[in-house]
Structure 1
Amino acid sequence: MPSSSSDVEMDPEPHNLAYDPDQDPEEKRDVRKKYRAFQKTTEDQRAQPKQYSAEELTIQVHEVDALFHKVKNPQEATLDSHVLLGYTHTTAAKARAMKSGQGAFDIDDFVSKLITFMGGRKPLDDKLPDDSDTEEVDDGDAPLNWDKIGRKALAKSRRVPVMDFMLGPLSIEQKKRAQVKRAKLEKHKEDERKPQEIREEDIARSENETTKNVAKITQLLNREGGPINMFAFIINPNDFGQSVENLFYLSFLIRDGKCAMELAEETLEPMIWLCEAPSEEDYADGTLKKRQLVMELDMATWRRAIEVFDITEPKIPQRPPVKQDQKGGWYG
């Protein structure tokens, strides 16, 4: 079989990819400068691919190949990859803009003719009668004659043909998306529930427990008649939750200035007692200033206070637990 000439010239001296970390800095800078110039050129070509011919692109690719002989470090090799990628995009844009006669290059038409050439479809004149209205007939599962197109390709390339080189879109069947049927939600009358209607008489008005308990604590402090240890007053040794509530109710009296609190000089115990509430004039002339204090009362502090101050009985009587309406009534 006679050898055919190739349009691509092979490089007689392949480049030796030798890593050289001690490459001359001036040479490295020169290589990077030239690669960046090529990179800028590829960006301009991608913006206007029609202004550059295939011959100009081929010459520039050969210049990049010659420059690659000076690459001896990964950074410059990365620049070379970017430049070649840019030329690839430019040539792809030129291929999409190719003109064949009066119309654009039709890929689908080319593939159809290629299949017909390999025996996948027969010409309409041989397949259909004269009075037929059918435009195209498919041979179905007829195998394609790859050897026929292979012999044509051998005249244009020296590359050894392989099966997976041409096994591409021609043999791939288009996948159809499966339609998933969704079950409809069936509604039954017996499953429907009406929202509960609330009427005015269904709402039980509960009294303000906070105001009631603050007033009770005020009465108990007034009965003490003098300073008392704060922990001994609010701690309920039988109920941690109500001890926290007592401190909460006491904070309202301290906020309004009706109860004073200070540390004893010798024992440093927090002492509280009732006092006369200050007026607005006392705050206005600067005699008094409002302060805020965040106090934490956890279970460990509660137990420690019971032990240190020997609290056995609560000063504030145990309140009954809150009753919840078992009939599902509403409280406002």
Structure 2
Amino acid sequence: MSSQGSPRKEDLAYDPDQDPEEKREIRRNYRSLHKTIDDPHADLTALELEDKVKRANEIFEKVKNTQEATLDSLFFVKTSTINSRKARALKFGTGTFDVDDFVTKLVAFMGGYKPPQDVSSDASDDEEEDDSPLDWAKIGRRAMAKSRRVPAMGFMLGPLSIEQKQRAANKPREKLEKNKKDQTRPQELREEDIQRSENETTKNVAIVAAVLEQLEDTKINIFRLVVNPESFAQSVENIFYLSFLIRDAKAALEIDTETGEPLVFASEPPSDEERVNYSLMKRQMIFEFDMATWKRAIEVFDIMEPCIPARPRARTRLGNQWYG
């Protein structure tokens, strides 16, 4: 087996031990190229960009590390962007399609008015009169010679054949006069017309607290306390009022370890000293209560009458009217 000689250092594609001074020279050359194409005032031509790409290829022959290769790739990204922008702005010749000129010649060909110069040898003197209508049939015959499509009704007609309506000048508009006797005014409310009611929430929270204090047993099932068998809405309101008592520590909620029932009872709020000594902290709990739970609680606990007295439906008087 013959042994082969190791490749020369200058032939290596990657050389981590490349001369630092050579690497710095490569970076300076790339930065110089970047500076020439980054100048916003420099409008480089295609030949100038080609020369710079050739110069970048010469520098790349000495690149042996990733940092210098990154500078090379960034340079080609920039040059590609410039070339793409120049290609989009490129115009082939100076003969662009002029819509206004086309319409002018088209109207003249159909006899709309006489142009300064003849635009078609087929146009006769009679067809070029100023006040003659447009001869759409003529342009239709010319177009049909270039197309095999069957003509339909209204061919080449449309917005050009529509006349714009003009409003009659100096025509006064009729004003609608309203009889003031037929006009109705909204009902005026005075301060004494609005009956002010006391804070219902505060009052109902006090009622729930009184019920808890008057219970013979110190603890009661929460469903037996809050459920009103005649009103689902008031049952939800009772839970709302009970939550204020629990928040202020005037009522407590616990789960019986033997039966698993949620029990509620009246309690005394702890003092500030007890809060510090026992590290008491507030805790929040979500109580889910829907109509299905309400009906099930009535059935399971055989609730016939509400523990919390039922409340009359709230009504508000505005003026001479009452609203529920």
TM range (shorter): 0.5 to 0.7
> 1:210 and 2:201 equivalent?
yes
Kept in 2, the 8 Å contact 1:260–1:274? The answer is yes
Match of 1:236 in 2: 228
What amino acid sits opposite 2:208 in the alignment? Answer: I
Query: Letter of the aligned partner of 1:47 in structure 2?
Result: A
Distance in 2, Cα, partners of 1:145 & 1:304: 87
Matched with 1:119 is 124
TM-score between both structures, scaled by the size of structure 2? 0.54
Share of identical aligned residues, percent?
37
CA-to-aligned-CA distance 1:270-322 (integer Å, 9 cap, x gap): 11111111234444566211111111222221222222222222222222232
Aligned partner letter, 2:214:
R
Question: Which residue of the other structure, out of 125, 131, 134, is the alignment partner of 1:137?
Answer: 131
The answer to whether structure 1 residue 227 and structure 2 residue 189 are counterparts is: no
Q: How does 1:1-332 map to 2 (within 5 A)?
A: 47-49=89-91, 52-53=92-93, 94-96=95-97, 106-116=101-111, 117-119=122-124, 121=126, 136-138=130-132, 140=133, 173-177=160-164, 186=176, 188-189=178-179, 192-224=183-215, 226-284=218-276, 287-325=279-317, 327-328=320-321
| 1:110 partner amino acid | K
User: Larger RCO: Structure 1 or Structure 2 (Cα < 8 Å, ≥ 6 residues apart)?
Assistant: 1
- What is the distance in 1 between the residues matched to 2:128 and 2:225? 107
Q: TM-score, structure 1 length as denominator?
A: 0.53
Measure, in 1, the Cα distance between the counterparts of 2:178 and 2:223: 61
**Cα–Cα, structure 1 residues 285 and 170, in superposed 2: closer, same or farther, change >3 Å?**
same
Aligned length: 224
Segments of structure 2 that go 5 or more residues without pairing to the other structure are 1-81, 112-121
Root-mean-square deviation (CA, aligned residues, Å) is 4.6
Indicate the SS of the match to 1:272.
strand
Code of the residue aligned with 2:96 in structure 1: it is: A
Alpha-carbon offset, residue 137 of structure 1? 3.1
> Quick check: 1:119–1:145 contact (8 Å CA) kept in 2?
no
Query: For the residues of structure 1 that align with 2:165 and 2:278, how far apart are their CA atoms?
Result: 81
CA shift for structure 1 position 211: 1.1
Q: Displacement of 1:253 after TM fit? A: 0.4
- 2:47 counterpart residue number: none
Distance change in 2, residues 1:161/1:311 (3 Å): closer
Cα deviation for residue 161 of structure 1 reads: 5.3
Tell me how far apart the structure 2 counterparts of residues 120 and 173 of structure 1 sit (CA, whole Å): 24
| Deviation readout 1:110-156 (Å, 9 max, x if unpaired) | 234433553374566xxxxxxxxxxx332x47786679x97xx9xxx
CA distances 1:49-70 after superposition (whole Å, capped 9, x unpaired): 2xx44xxxxxxxxxxxxxxxxx
1:132 corresponds to: none
Q: Is the 1:120–1:142 contact (alpha carbons within 8 Å) kept by the matching residues of 2?
A: no
